[in-house]
Structure 1
Amino acid sequence: MALLVGAGLLLGGPSAVAQLDLPDHTVKGEGEFGVRQIYGSHGSSKFEEYRHIPSGLFLDRLRLGVEDKEQRQFYELRVTEPLERDQNYQLRAGRYGRYAVQFEWDQLPHVFSNTGRSLFRGGADDLTIPSLVRSTLQSATTPTANTATINTTVNENAQGIDLRLQRKTATLGASYTPTPGWDVQFSYGNEHREGTRPFGANIRTNNTSGFNTVELPEPTDYRTHDVRAQAEYTADRWSVAVGYVGSIFNDDHTSLTWDNPFRTTDSATLGAARGRHALPPDNIAHTASLSGSLNVAQATRLMGTISYGWWRQDEPFLPKTTNSLLSPSALPAASLDGKINTLLMNYTLNTRLHRDVSLTARYRHSLLDNNTPERIFDDYVQADSSVVTTDRRNLAIAYTNHNAGLDVGWRPVSVVSVKAGYGFERFDREKRDANITNEHSGKGAVDVTPIDWLLLRASYLYSQRRFDEYDHEKFVGEHTFPSGEPAGTLPQHPNLRKFDLANRNRNRVELLGQLTPFEPMTISATYGLGKDDFKDVGFGITSDNNWSAGLDVFYRVSPRVALFTNYTREEFKSKMRSRQRGGAAGDTAANDWASDMTDIVDTVGAGVDVGVIPERLDLTLAYSIAVATGQVRARPLGTPTVSGFTAENYPDTKNRLHQLKAALKYHLGENLTAKLSYTFERFVNRDFQTDIMDPWMGAVDSGANSSIFLGARQPSYEAHFVALSLSFRF
């Protein structure tokens, strides 16, 4: 009833479409407002993960524009979903062809979960647990876990917590064109991200069970300042531009400190009473650029860009431990003194050798020069419970990249277009497992339009990447541990290959067909295939393949009826091989295992547009469903010798999203439309990783007896939206 009353009030306002009559200006505008009600079980965080849809009165959009009679000056206001957590406002003003000023305010929520519960209290970056709760949990883990006491204590004392972020961005921009050749632009952006999100950390408990997990509510209070400026001059045959981009990042919280739920005092062997973890550090980045273009000849154009950047980060180091009973050596420096310089050079030459032959040559050079000091740390603290007296060095990872390519286009006849190209990419890396990688690629494409209602397109790419030398110990391990790795520690397996460095053969195929057999019908079909085969891989990803196919059909049955439908299927399959070593004695092929991972997504949609009463009443119906499934199949490749090692299949994951939309539009006049709409959404989530999450998971896994979680889930939901709105324009 409230919905109908509200709609009646809205429709009762014919003045909403009256044109403003100003002596010296023309005013134009459009918008939609109404009343909305939401029903169903929509309490899941997934329902409003990146949006805000409240019941009640709403303003979907509003645009107001003002011009002077000579159409020289303009003013414009755009508003989307005001007073909601995903609202947007834009204000523009200026003089056509001369200058403009724009301000934008944008908000975007991100809801992680609304089922979270936590034992922690206190300030945002200093989390505490009531002393009675900690002492009870400490007693319950001595000498072995008393699961009943832990379960009762955790669940009775865990309180609800909001796990969400809110992003707010303000942007001010200006452009100025004093003469037809000059263009000057400036913008300043200020983004603030604030809220709480899940954060995983390790602890030691009051027994010798090893490391355990504590999931914390991480405070997020980021502010990013973004400054951009550019001046460009364009002449008849050439242009030149200079630019600057600056970014300043500030985190209001430098670190996160928390109580150990299972320890009230420090222990020299069983861990600290409190834990601490660094949060993203403050940093600053500057980039200056010079770009230009030149028409070398009538059919030849050269374009180039050179940019230089310098990034700095000098956040003070945290102490090595919070444990008062441990005495590690002093830090080698008070802060990082992080310094990275970047260089980018990008050149492109376009030319037409013949009326039907074009040539494009490209070269790109990028450099990341890491001048951060590499310091030796005499020792390090492991899980706040022991000092490991082994030298470790931080690594200043750097690289140089060269990328070159040549593409040729040829139109032998008017209905056929052919393209072919060659590409080369080289990476020279410092402090990575492989020192050099070279990749050669060849590609080809053909477009055929045999008749004006048929387009066929096919493309193929093949590439080979090979490393020069792959040796983790030589390029990484010996630098990280200058005095050798700790006794009893297994180094990285020499047959492990990381996917971004491994030898790889890549194949890519793309097909497209567009068909218009007769004027009211359009059919479009696509197919894509990708195959990445990683060569000579002992352990790691051995293959990564995917394919997709899609079909879209639009058919206008009559001037009043149109049908549309679509279907897409995507499949992703990868294979991995690894070894469960569990110590030097287990480093045998008997403990090898393999895993096959498959993700499949099917999306189907269909709908109809009907002009029920020509130029008066329209009906739109649309339905879509997306189904995603995930599979992980694991198997041993030998007879395992490591105790407790099993390679087994994970439960399948599946989620479905149903959407049904119906809208009935009644045109009250040329510029006024009333709309009654209904939307149905059902999200079904089946994920063994999160479906049963609670603050204490010992009842499911005894290995989690001394771990604490947030119990963050994203349950299924079902929602019904009913809205009555009025849209106008003038």
Structure 2
Amino acid sequence: MTTTRSLRDRPEISLRDISRLGDADPRGRRGVASTVFAVLVMSAWPCAAAWGIEPNYAKVDLERWHCRLCAFETASYRQGDWVVGAAHVADAQPRFGRDSGLDRAGPHAELGARYRRMTANGVAVEFVGTDLGLRSRALRLHIRDPRRIDFRLEHRGLPRRVSRDGRVSHRGRTALALPTGWTAAFDSRDLTALPANRRSVINATQRDRTAATVRYRAGTRASTIRWRAEAGFVSETREGTEETFADFQYQATALPKPIDQRTEAFQAGIGFDHRRLLLTATYRNARFRNRHGFLEWDSPWLGPRVSQGRKALAPDNDADTLSLVGRARLGTGTTVHATLTRSEITQNAAFLPYTTNGELALEALPDNLAGRVTTFAGTFNLVSRVTERLRVSIRHRDRDRANHTPTLALTPVVGDSYVPGTVTSRAYGFDTAKSEARVHYRLTNAVKVELGTDARRIRRNATEVRGNDQRRSWAAFSANVPGGLQVRIGATAARRRATDFVAVTNNNPLTRRFHQAARQTQEWTAGLRYGVPDRGLSFGFEANARRARYPESTLGLRRNDDSAWGGDIAYAPDPRVTFVAYFSTEEASSVTVGSPIVGMAPDAVWHYATNDAVDTAGASLVVRGLLRDRLELELDVVESDGGARYVTRHRGDASHFPTLVSDLKSLDVRLRYRWRTRSYLLLRYRRDDYRAADWALLGGDLDAVRNLVPFGRTAPEYVNALFSLSLQTAL
């Protein structure tokens, strides 16, 4: 049985058509007839006619006609639409189509479909497909029986386009060979064959993810115990090429790295719901496989004692996880939620030889790493509404990581040339704990206060700083002032302590790693919003600032600050018109102190300062009901200017790096025109004007660094446009 859910799909419907809806719900028929009769009466009334009132069936919408007491929507229905069209991209720009696959110039197909159906017994089927003509395609199938079964099947393509202007002299995929007749040299300026023997490298990957999940429920709402079971499978492939570098001690070479990886995961779970208690157990097994275990390449340099290098790629590994999730309701206002998770990760890939230099006499490596790591994580959350105004939440989280990998005596080879000595591997492990308490209090219906504190602890082994303890406190205040004003203010203060330094590495003992060092942090947030009553106009302003200091770090990161502020204005003079304009400014800065020698000699100390800033402004406009309610317009304009400045100071002299630049101006226009009763024409025009500058990209200056063979990429700078025309038709 099929019924019409909305008369907007049939604006030309008449009383004669209504009388023919014999299979529709009688209540719905009477409701529509009553509405039509009321409109006709108002149209016949003299005053109403003078006001220009006339029937407008396009406003009748039955989508909210739901039965609140039913387990599912009793009325069956079927609806859907499909989209077919074409898009044209003016120029091939990887950044323009970075995550969509629109990085190739020329035509692209635009395909999409949606279908939903519900039967009289409540079984629902939904299919959604978007971007089917692109590599970013997404498909979803959902079949749901409200009494028993829930099945989902999803597929998603995730392209990642980085660049296509990189060039290398090597040929091959995993065994990279130089062209015949290559002349090696110590200096990149003497690599005479370098400019002429280079092929392009497309730095891009394609990730495809497919997932299937089925859930089964046993029992009804009246049952004392309701059981549930779940099983799922996920398969993800990743193929393409990425950039990497390899070196022989002090001579580096740019190389294309092959990507051909697969991840598969299977999970199964069972649980039950008994009145106020819910408990679920889930097992998950995941496997990662890399088709290419290593990369070999010919050396372009004259310096190394070997003609070929070898580099290991990501190894295969497996992970097994068992988790328990529980939830209990205590009384009328308290809920307890807890999780326990245990995982085991193994990695047993075979070792590669130390070096390709067969002249070095080295002891044989073990067959494999025999790597094994176990983790345990537990969380406990309690939320209680003590009174109508007071709500309290308490949380605790604990995580342990134990590394059971055997300790190995290894003999590293530097530059495939000499052996500095034997080293012993270290198995890294840690355990962390965090406890948190929050109090939410509602002074009035318009004024709310939040207070909170937490304590964090971390303990490590085989590191320079074995432990950190941190305490953090915060307060937040929000109020809705009569007249349309909203105020929000917050402040946070934190202090992290560190244990004594342990010299387990060759680092300068005065250096502290920023994630292990003692730190003091302060943060402020504020927000204002004002809505003009009965005007459809509102203004907003937000700002936040964070300051971090590392008082015990003689060398290393000394300070790290970031801030942001911005505002917006929204105006809706008519229900069919909405305008929004906004701006924001973000800034981050840091200072790092370093020394190339052990100790703190004043003449050897240098200061490295960074400052990054991004200014963004934009506007959006939505207009509906144009051309007698046939045309809809959406317009977006964005302009963003970003810059990064780095400077190094040593003995009073300042060395400024060239400024990093990332500027974007974008225009996006979308039109939707009702061509026929169930058909729409979709028109889109997008234009991007982008400019970047990066001193790390050397462009065509291949011998700018004498001991480096670069990719020769340049920073992207382009003006590109997309034009698409599609037809959307309802089924």
> Aligning the two structures, in what range does the TM-score lie when normalised by the shorter sequence?
0.7 to 0.9
The aligned runs of 1:599-618 (5 Å cut-off) are: 599-610=612-623, 611-618=625-632
User: Are the structure 2 counterparts of residues 320 and 60 from structure 1 closer, same or farther at C-alpha, using a change threshold of 3 Å?
Assistant: same
1:154 match: 194
CA separation in 2, counterparts of 1:183 and 1:80? Answer: 32
The aligned runs of 1:446-457 (5 Å cut-off) are: 446-451=477-482, 453-457=484-488
CA contact (8 A) 2:109 2:134 kept: no
Say whether 1:544 aligns with 2:525: no
1:127 match: 176
Deviation at 1:213? 0.6
CA offsets 1:302-324 (integer angstroms, 9 cap, x no match): 22111111111111111111012
1:61 match: 112
Say whether 1:664 aligns with 2:671: yes
Match 1:651 to one of 642, 645, 658: 658
The aligned runs of 1:215-226 (5 Å cut-off) are: 215-226=254-265
2:640 match: 626
CA separation in 1, counterparts of 2:634 and 2:334? Answer: 50
Match 2:527 to one of 498, 504, 512: 512
CA contact (8 A) 1:270 1:385 kept: yes
SS of the equivalent of 1:72 reads: coil
CA contact (8 A) 1:441 1:463 kept: yes
User: Are the structure 2 counterparts of residues 352 and 559 from structure 1 closer, same or farther at C-alpha, using a change threshold of 3 Å?
Assistant: closer
Match 1:117 to one of 163, 167, 187: 167
1:10 match: none
CA offsets 1:160-189 (integer angstroms, 9 cap, x no match): 222211111111111111224333222211
In the alignment, structure 2 segments of 5+ residues that lack a partner are 1-21, 25-74, 221-225
CA separation in 2, counterparts of 1:688 and 1:22? Answer: 71
The aligned runs of 1:449-528 (5 Å cut-off) are: 449-451=480-482, 453-471=484-502, 473=503, 476-477=504-505, 491-519=506-534, 520-528=536-544
User: Are the structure 2 counterparts of residues 711 and 64 from structure 1 closer, same or farther at C-alpha, using a change threshold of 3 Å?
Assistant: same
CA contact (8 A) 1:43 1:717 kept: no
Deviation at 1:649? 1.0
The aligned runs of 1:628-707 (5 Å cut-off) are: 628-636=642-650, 638=651, 648-669=655-676, 671-690=678-697, 692-694=698-700, 697-698=702-703, 700-701=704-705, 703-704=706-707, 707=708
Deviation at 1:37? 2.5
The aligned runs of 1:96-495 (5 Å cut-off) are: 96-122=146-172, 124-133=173-182, 136-137=183-184, 140-141=185-186, 145=187, 147=189, 149-150=190-191, 152-180=192-220, 181-203=226-248, 211-263=250-302, 270-331=304-365, 333-377=366-410, 379-388=411-420, 390-451=421-482, 453-471=484-502, 473=503, 476-477=504-505, 491-495=506-510
SS of the equivalent of 2:475 reads: strand
SS of the equivalent of 2:165 reads: coil
CA contact (8 A) 1:575 1:595 kept: yes
User: Are the structure 2 counterparts of residues 495 and 108 from structure 1 closer, same or farther at C-alpha, using a change threshold of 3 Å?
Assistant: same
How many pairs align?
651
User: Are the structure 2 counterparts of residues 342 and 154 from structure 1 closer, same or farther at C-alpha, using a change threshold of 3 Å?
Assistant: same
The one-letter code matched in structure 2 to 1:292 is: G
- RMSD of aligned Cα (Å): 2.3
CA contact (8 A) 2:398 2:434 kept: yes
CA separation in 1, counterparts of 2:207 and 2:122? Answer: 36
CA contact (8 A) 2:111 2:133 kept: no
SS of the equivalent of 2:675 reads: strand
Deviation at 1:80? 1.0
CA contact (8 A) 1:623 1:660 kept: yes
Which of 1 and 2 has higher RCO (CA within 8 Å, sep 6+)? 1
CA contact (8 A) 1:593 1:647 kept: no
1:6 match: none
CA separation in 2, counterparts of 1:125 and 1:146? Answer: 24
Say whether 1:74 aligns with 2:124: yes
CA separation in 1, counterparts of 2:574 and 2:122? Answer: 43
1:46 match: 95
CA offsets 1:458-509 (integer angstroms, 9 cap, x no match): 22211100012222x1xx23xxxxxxxxxxxxx3111101111111011122
Say whether 1:36 aligns with 2:69: no
The one-letter code matched in structure 1 to 2:134 is: E
State the percentage of identical aligned residues. Answer: 22
Deviation at 1:565? 0.5
CA separation in 1, counterparts of 2:590 and 2:108? Answer: 49
1:722 match: 723
CA contact (8 A) 1:422 1:440 kept: yes
CA contact (8 A) 2:588 2:611 kept: yes
CA contact (8 A) 1:418 1:446 kept: yes
User: Are the structure 2 counterparts of residues 496 and 647 from structure 1 closer, same or farther at C-alpha, using a change threshold of 3 Å?
Assistant: farther
In the alignment, structure 1 segments of 5+ residues that lack a partner are 1-20, 205-210, 264-268, 478-490, 640-645
CA contact (8 A) 1:328 1:381 kept: no
SS of the equivalent of 1:117 reads: strand
Match 1:568 to one of 579, 584, 587: 584
The one-letter code matched in structure 2 to 1:444 is: A
CA contact (8 A) 1:45 1:714 kept: no
User: Are the structure 2 counterparts of residues 358 and 558 from structure 1 closer, same or farther at C-alpha, using a change threshold of 3 Å?
Assistant: closer
The one-letter code matched in structure 2 to 1:424 is: A
CA separation in 2, counterparts of 1:82 and 1:89? Answer: 8
Once structures 1 and 2 are overlaid, which stretch shifts more, 307-316 or 443-452?
Answer: 443-452
CA separation in 2, counterparts of 1:146 and 1:340? Answer: 44
The one-letter code matched in structure 2 to 1:290 is: L
SS of the equivalent of 2:629 reads: coil
User: Are the structure 2 counterparts of residues 452 and 295 from structure 1 closer, same or farther at C-alpha, using a change threshold of 3 Å?
Assistant: farther
User: Are the structure 2 counterparts of residues 622 and 296 from structure 1 closer, same or farther at C-alpha, using a change threshold of 3 Å?
Assistant: closer
User: Are the structure 2 counterparts of residues 81 and 127 from structure 1 closer, same or farther at C-alpha, using a change threshold of 3 Å?
Assistant: same
CA separation in 1, counterparts of 2:148 and 2:485? Answer: 44
2:38 match: none
The one-letter code matched in structure 1 to 2:635 is: L
CA contact (8 A) 2:288 2:317 kept: yes
SS of the equivalent of 1:381 reads: coil
CA contact (8 A) 1:113 1:714 kept: no
CA separation in 2, counterparts of 1:608 and 1:391? Answer: 67
User: Are the structure 2 counterparts of residues 688 and 405 from structure 1 closer, same or farther at C-alpha, using a change threshold of 3 Å?
Assistant: same
SS of the equivalent of 2:196 reads: helix
SS of the equivalent of 1:177 reads: strand
The one-letter code matched in structure 1 to 2:234 is: G
User: Are the structure 2 counterparts of residues 414 and 83 from structure 1 closer, same or farther at C-alpha, using a change threshold of 3 Å?
Assistant: closer
Structure 2 length-normalised TM: 0.85
User: Are the structure 2 counterparts of residues 503 and 146 from structure 1 closer, same or farther at C-alpha, using a change threshold of 3 Å?
Assistant: closer
Deviation at 1:383? 0.8
The one-letter code matched in structure 2 to 1:65 is: R
2:19 match: none
CA separation in 2, counterparts of 1:73 and 1:303? Answer: 32
CA separation in 2, counterparts of 1:83 and 1:560? Answer: 32
The one-letter code matched in structure 1 to 2:114 is: R
CA offsets 1:116-163 (integer angstroms, 9 cap, x no match): 2211113x2211113411xx22xx44xxx483x52x411111112222
Once structures 1 and 2 are overlaid, which stretch shifts more, 177-186 or 277-286?
Answer: 177-186
CA separation in 1, counterparts of 2:92 and 2:468? Answer: 50
